[in-house]
């Protein structure tokens, strides 16, 4: 890495570490939610690598959130355990819906996931005795670590940061291992992968289940952070937003969904919960498709090539800037 890049990462790290002290409680709250969105976006990536358009990710967040909240509220389970249970239940439900659905391809699979979001939302809405339905589930215990309750938003911010880094580390390791290569091969040419002995259905299911697990983690943290769950929050809209993070950030790289989730969560903050949110995300998606098909991660490369043109230094038109042609993988 160049010294300039190292310096940038260093500054970024310091800012992230000191954010609650530099910017105050509101930003600690806001960025905790941004981190949740990043976990959601990044955990959708394995499925996208396999070429599976999953528009149902919010359902697994919802399952993780409700499971963890109810276990903590009704049985008094400690946060660490209830979070783990939430993630595991989300994974189990994911496996049971994924096993039959992953045999479908492309838009048919996407339709199943859309229907599933609605089913989960309706269950949360109708099963009043358990979830309190449209009255919302309130007074969820604050997160705690080893019995120590994290009272302030600042403490909870650091919990979110640790969770985020753990999840990203695991997902990064997995994507850059043989497993990631297998997923990419399925996304590029599933028949060819099969002909080399890859059990395509099995690996798609693994990618899907891994995504469900981390969506469950994100949901569980969210439940104890916001301390109030309301079924319509985990809607189809939220699921499409998670997908949009991936596309706007860029599908070609691991950092794509991270960049996309941070960028869009912050920009859409003024519209959160209003009808303008949908319009904002739609415009972001359309602009990406029209102007920057590779996503935001390809922007520096594009800008560099523009600058070259502008300065007239483009003596050798064959030199393509490094970022401009970012391949589907890496």
Partner 1 sequence: MSNPEAHREKPMALLEAHHLTKHFGGLAAVNRVDITVEEGEIVGLIGPNGAGKTTCFNLLSGFLPPTAGTITFNGEDITGLRPHQIVARGLVRTFQLTTLFQDMTVLENVLLGLHLTSRRGLGQALWHRHAFPHDEIARSHEVLEFTGLASHAEQLAKNLPHGHQRTLGIAMALAARPRLLMLDEPVTGMNFEESQRIMGLVQTIRDRGTTILLVEHNMRAVMSTCERIVVLSFGQKLAEGTAAEVSTNRDVIAAYLGTGSAHA
The residue ranges that bind partner 1 (CB under 8 A) are 170, 173-174, 176-182, 184-185, 188-189, 191-200, 206, 327-329
Number of neighbours of residue 238 by Cβ within 10 angstroms: 21
Tell me whether residue 195 or residue 318 sits nearer to partner 1 (CB atom): 195
Least gap, CB of 327 to partner 1 (angstroms): 5
Contact in structure between 224 and 68 (CB atoms under 8 Å): yes
The SS3 call for residue 28 is helix
Least gap, CB of 301 to partner 1 (angstroms): 17
Tell me whether residue 197 or residue 317 sits nearer to partner 1 (CB atom): 197
Least gap, CB of 105 to partner 1 (angstroms): 15
Say which residues have a Cβ less than 8 Å from residue 103's Cβ, sequence separation at least 6.
Answer: 201
The SS3 call for residue 152 is coil
Least gap, CB of 297 to partner 1 (angstroms): 16
Tell me whether residue 198 or residue 304 sits nearer to partner 1 (CB atom): 198
Spell out a b/e string for 195-206, using b for 16 or more CB atoms within 10 Å of the CB, else e.
Answer: eeebebeebbbb
Least gap, CB of 191 to partner 1 (angstroms): 6
> Residue 3 gets which letter from DSSP?
H
Number of neighbours of residue 283 by Cβ within 10 angstroms: 10
Tell me whether residue 115 or residue 174 sits nearer to partner 1 (CB atom): 174
CA angle 174, 180, 186 (to 5 degrees): 150
Tell me whether residue 139 or residue 196 sits nearer to partner 1 (CB atom): 196
């Amino acid at each position: 890495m160049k010294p300039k890049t190292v310096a940038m990462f260093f500054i970024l790290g310091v800012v992230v570490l000191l954010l609650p002290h530099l910017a105050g409680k509101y930003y600690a709250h806001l960025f905790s939610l941004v981190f949740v969105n990043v976990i959601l976006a990044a955990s959708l990536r394995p499925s996208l690598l396999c070429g599976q358009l999953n528009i149902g990710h919010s359902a697994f967040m919802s399952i993780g959130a409700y499971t963890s909240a109810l276990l903590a509220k009704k049985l008094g389970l400690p946060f660490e355990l209830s979070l783990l249970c939430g993630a595991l239940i989300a994974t189990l439900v994911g496996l049971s819906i994924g096993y039959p659905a992953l045999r479908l391809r492309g838009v048919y699979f996407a339709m199943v996931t859309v229907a599933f979001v609605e089913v989960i939302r309706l269950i949360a809405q109708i099963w009043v005795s358990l979830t309190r339905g449209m009255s919302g589930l309130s007074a969820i215990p604050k997160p705690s670590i080893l019995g120590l309750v994290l009272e302030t938003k600042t403490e909870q911010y650091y919990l979110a940061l640790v969770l985020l880094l753990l999840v990203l580390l695991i997902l990064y390791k997995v994507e850059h291992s043989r497993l990631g290569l297998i997923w990419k091969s399925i996304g590029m040419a599933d028949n060819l992968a099969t002909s080399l002995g890859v059990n395509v259905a099995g690996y798609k299911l693994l990618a899907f289940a891994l995504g469900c697990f981390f969506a469950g983690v994100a949901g569980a943290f969210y439940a104890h952070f916001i301390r109030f769950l309301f079924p319509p929050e985990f809607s189809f809209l939220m699921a499409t937003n998670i997908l949009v993070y991936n596309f706007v950030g860029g599908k070609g790289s691991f950092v794509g969904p991270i960049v996309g989730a941070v960028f869009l969560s912050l920009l859409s903050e003024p519209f959160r919960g209003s009808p303008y949110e949908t319009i904002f995300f739609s415009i972001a998606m359309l602009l990406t498709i029209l102007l920057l098909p590779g996503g935001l991660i390809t922007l520096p490369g594009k800008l560099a090539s523009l600058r070259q043109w502008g300065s007239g230094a483009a003596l050798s038109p064959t030199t393509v800037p490094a970022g401009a042609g970012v391949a589907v993988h890496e």
